[in-house]
Structure 1
Amino acid sequence: MDFREKNAEKTLKMRVKAKWDIHVQRFGIRSLPIHPIKVYKRAKALFFGILDGIGGPTIPIFFAFLKQRFLHKSTRIDTSISGISYGTLPRHKMDLFVPVDAYKIKNQPGQDNQTGIPVIIVFPGYSWNNTGLIQLYKPMAQTLCETGVFVILPNLGLPGKTSLSEILEDMQLILEWTSENIGKSGGDPKQIHLLGFGAGAHMCCMYNIASILSGITESSSLAHESIYQILSSENANAELKEWFRRLRRPVIPVLGLILISGVYSLEKQRKYEEMRCIETISMSSRLFESLYFAEAWSPLNIMIGLRKRGIFISNNLFAKRVLIVHGQKDSTFPLELSQKLFQEFCLMDMDDVNMKVYANLRRIDPSVILSVQDAYLARSFLEDIKSALFIDETEDENTKTKDNESEETKEFKSDDTNNISSDITENVSS
C-alpha cells in the first residue's frame, strides 16, 4: 500500500467519524445527535421527563376529579373577580379570589390592616416568559382561597416576547397594586406571600433577591459596589448589574415564599442538562444561551456570593417565612438544588424556614394536586401551606365545617362575596 492509499484510507476514516458525530446546532428535534450514547441519554431523559409530567399522583387525581365532577354535585362558590388591571399594558391583567369571610372582617369595628387577611400571589411555572393558559390554574386558586386567604392569579408576559427583566417588572407592579389596594377590602398588605412552582418558584426567589439587593444599595454606598463582585466572573457581574439597573425602586419585601419544584440555579441546571445530553433541546438552554446570563439570573448563586463576600443583610429586606417543596424523584429539576437553597436560607436571619420532600413523588404540580381538594395529598399539601401562612386553627375548623352549612348560609355568603367584589371594583376604579 503506497502513501496515497494510506492517505485516502485515513481520510475515509475521518469522514466516517465526522458523520458519526454529526450534531446539528439548532434547537428542537433537529438537534438530536446520531451518536448512539447521546441518543440513549436523550431518550432516557425524555422518558423520565414524561414520568415527571404524568407520574406521581396525576393519574389517580385525574380519576378522582372525574368522579367528583360527574358523580357529586358541586357546592363551590366562585369568588373570583376577573380582568383587574395592575398596570398600563394590555397584558397587565389579573384575577382576584376573595375569601367569603372578607366582607365580615372588613366591616368589623376596630378592624385595621394589621389584623387583615393574608394574601397569596400565585406565579405558575410552565414557561419562563409568560404564564400561559391562566384559566388552568383557577381551580387551584379557588381551593387556596377557601382556606381563608386572598389569592391573586396574574397574567405575566407574552409567549416568546417577554424578557426576564420585564417579568420581574410585572411582578413589582403586582406587588405595588396589592400593597396599595388589598387593605381597602380586608386584606393585609403586610402579609403578602408569593407562591410559585417550576419557573414561577425561580422568579419568586429572584424577586426576593431583588428586594435584598435594593435594600443593600439604599443602606450603604460601599455595599452598592460590592454586590457587583459576588459572582464568578466579570461578565456574570455585568449581567447582574444590568438587570438590577432596570428595577423599579424601592422593591417591596414580602412576608413569605412558598417555592415548589423550582430551579434556583440556572448555571447548575445547565450543567445537569449537559450531563443528560439535553442541553440543546431544553427550554432553559433556549432562553439562557450564555452561562454568564444564566448565573446572573440564579438566586442560589447570588445568595452564595453575598454570603462569601460577607455582606450584611438586614432581616427587614427579605421574606421572613419560607416553605420549599420538592418531589424526591424529580428528574427535571433535581432535588439537590432545593436542598442547597434551603441550606442558604437557614444561614440567614429568617423567622421560619421549612422544607418538605414528598417521598416517591416526581415533579410536584399544585395545579394538579389541588384540583381535587378532598384527596389525601391535596389535604396534606394545604396543611403545609396553611402552616407556612400561620393560619389560626379556628379558621381551619370553620373551613372543615363549611360543607355542613345550610343553603341559607351559603346564599348569605354568596351575597357577601358579591358585596366585596363591588367594593374592590370601586377601589380599583377610584
Structure 2
Amino acid sequence: MEWKTIKKIMVLILAWVFFPIVSVAISQTDAPQSQLKVPLNPKRVYKVTSYLLTCLYENLTGSFIPSILQYGWHKLSSERKRTSVRKNIRYGPRPRNRLDIYVPDRVSTRNNNRNNDNMGQPALSSNSTPNPNQQQNDTAVIIFIGTSWNSGNRATCMPVAQSLQSQGYIVIVPDLTLYPNGKIAEMVADVQQCIYWTHTHISSFRGDPSQIYLMGHDAGSLLSALTVIHDACATLNVLPSNNTNVNIPVWDNVRRTGLPRVQGLILFSGVYDITYHYAYLYQKGLEQVHALPRVMGNRPDAFLQCSPTYLLSHALERVQNHDQLKALLPRKVVLFHGEQQDTFNPSITAFKFLLESAGIPSVQHKIKNVKYISPKFDLIVPTKPLCVELLKDIKECCKGGKKNRN
C-alpha cells in the first residue's frame, strides 16, 4: 500500500474522532435547524480535518516556534526596562470594552491594574509632570491583532505592543465583543467607541489626536477597514439599501458628524470581500463550522453589507465629487500579506484598486518567501530581518501621515 493511501486513511480515522469534538465545541447558535451539530458527510469531515491538520503542521514548522524562542532570547539578553502601561481602562459600555495603553519611555503613566470605569482622562504619574514646552505629537496606534471572531485576549498582544512602544508609538490594545455574545454590528460599535475614546483622551499621554492609526490582522483588518469606510459612507448618506439582518451602527446617527478621522490603516492578511471568502470556506468545507458566516449574518446579501470592497465601490458610484469621500477616509493604507498567500490576494488587490480610485495612496506589500504574515509573531523581535522590514514600512506610513497633515 502506497504512503499516500496510508496517509489518507490515517487522516480519515483521525477525522471521525477530531472533527465531532471541533463541531460541538464551536458555538453554532445560528445554524439552521436542518443542520446537524456533528456533520456526517465523510467528504466534509475529511476536508475540514485535512485543513486543520495542515494548519497545525504549518504552525509547528513555520515561524511560530522560532519567533517565540527568539522573543524569549531577546528579552533575556536585552536590558530589562519597566514597561510604561496603563491597564484595564474602560472605553465603552459592553463587558469586554477594556483597553491597555502602552506609552514611550519618555512619557510614563501610573502602572497599575486598578479598574478605570469612568472612561475619563487617566492621570499621568507624579514622575512625569507634563512639560508645557513639550508638543503633544506622538503617534497613536490602535491594534486589533489579538482577536478572531470568537476568541482572543488583549494580553496576548503585549509583545507586539512593547515592540511598537520601543519605536516611540503610543499603543492602544483593546478587547472587543466576541461571537456569540455579539456579531458584526457589536464588533464595529466597539471599534467606533475605541477610536472615539482614543481621539478624546490621547492628549493625556502626549499623543496627537490627529495622528491615530489602526493596525489590524485577519479579523482585525476587516473590522478596521469596515468601520472607517462604513462611517464615511454614512456621513455622505451613500450607504447601500439594506434589507438584511445586519445593521451596522452609524456613529452619532442624529447629527451624522462621523467619527474622528483616522490617519491611516496598517492591515495584515486581511479579508475585504466576504462573498469571496465565503466561497473559499465552502471549498474547504468550513462554512458550517467557521464563525465568520454567522458573524456576518449568514446570508449572501448580508455578506455584501459587511464587505469594505462593496461599500467603497457603491460609494464611488454614488458620490460625484470623490474629494468628499477622500476627505473622510484614511490618508494612507498599507496592505501586508505573504507572497505565497493566494487565499486573499484577489480581495486585497481589488480593495487596493478601489482605494486608489478614491484618491487614497495605498501600498500592497507582498513579503517574499513568506506564506502568511502575523504581527503577533513577526513583529515581536526587533532584530529579526522580517520585523525590521515591517517596522520600517510602518514608520514610513506614519511619517508620511505627518507630512500630509492638514
* Count of residue pairs the alignment pairs up: 344
Task: Tell me which amino acid in the other structure corresponds to 1:57.
Answer: S
- In 1, the alpha carbon distance for the partners of 2:46 and 2:247 equals 40
- The answer (yes or no) to whether the contact 1:79–1:99 under 8 Å persists in 2 is yes
Report which stretch shifted further, 356-365 or 141-150.
Answer: 356-365
Query: What corresponds to 2:378 in structure 1?
Result: 369
Alignment-derived partner of residue 358 in structure 1: 367
- Structure 2 gap ranges (5+): 1-33, 109-127
**Tell me, what secondary structure is at the counterpart of 2:270?**
coil
Aligned partner of 2:350 in structure 1 is 340
Q: Are 2:146 and 2:376, in contact at CA under 8 Å, matched by a contact in 1? A: no
Amino-acid identity (%): 24
1:211 matched to 2:231: yes
1:238-271: per-residue Cα shift (whole Å, max 9, x none)?
Answer: 2398324576553222010001111111111011
1:87 Cα offset (Å): 2.4
Q: Does 1:156 align with 2:176?
A: yes
Pick from 330, 333, 344 the counterpart of residue 319 of structure 1: 330
The answer to whether the 8 A contact 1:129-1:167 is kept is no
Shift of 1:64: 1.7
1:220 is matched with which residue? none
Q: Please state if 1:119 is matched with 2:140.
A: yes
Q: Cα offset for 1:74?
A: 4.1
Task: Provide the residue aligned with 1:411 in structure 2.
Answer: none
Q: Which structure is richer in relative contact order (CA contacts within 8 A, separation 6 or more)?
A: 1
Counting only pairs closer than 5 Å after superposition, residues 24-423 of structure 1 correspond to structure 2 as: 25-26=35-36, 30-31=38-39, 33-35=41-43, 38=44, 41-51=47-57, 53-54=59-60, 56-70=62-76, 72-102=77-107, 107=131, 109=133, 111-113=134-136, 116-124=137-145, 126-128=147-149, 132-217=152-237, 223=238, 227-229=239-241, 237-239=242-244, 242-244=247-249, 249=256, 250-288=258-296, 289-309=298-318, 311-313=320-322, 314=324, 315-330=326-341, 333-350=343-360, 352-390=361-399
2:118 corresponds in structure 1 to none
- Counterpart-to-counterpart distance in 2, 1:382 and 1:299: 26
TM-score (norm 1): 0.72
Q: Normalization by structure 2: what TM-score?
A: 0.76
Instruction: Indicate the SS of the match to 1:238.
Output: coil
Conserved in 2, the CA contact under 8 Å of 1:240 and 1:297?
Answer: no
Deviations 1:183-242 (A, max 9, x none): 23311000100001010000000111122113202xxxxx5xxx325xxxxxxx323983
Q: Does 315-324 or 38-47 show the bigger shift?
A: 38-47
Return the structure number with greater helix share.
1
User: Unaligned regions of 5+ residues in structure 1, if any?
Assistant: 1-23, 218-222, 230-236, 394-430
- Larger mean CA deviation between 302-311 and 145-154 belongs to 302-311
Structure possessing the higher radius of gyration over alpha carbons: 1
Is 1:65–1:372's contact at 8 Å kept on the other side of the alignment?
Answer: yes
Over the residues paired in the alignment, what is the CA RMSD in angstroms? 2.8
Whole-Å Cα distance in 1 between the matches of residues 192 and 49 of structure 2?
A: 40
The 3 A distance-change label for structure 1 pair 349 and 55 is farther
Question: How far apart are the structure 2 equivalents of 1:385 and 1:75?
Answer: 25
Shift of the 26–349 alpha-carbon distance from structure 1 to 2, 3 Å rule, reads same
2:42 match: secondary structure: coil
Residues 344-369 of structure 1 deviation map (CA, whole Å, 9 limit, x = unaligned) = 1121112x321111122122111111
Larger deviation, residues 283-292 vs 267-276: 283-292
Separation in 2, partners of 1:122, 1:363: 18
**Residue 108 (structure 1) shift:** 5.1
Q: How much does 1:51 deviate? A: 5.0
Indicate how the Cα distance of structure 1 residues 245 and 32 shifts in structure 2: closer, same or farther if over 3 A, else same: farther
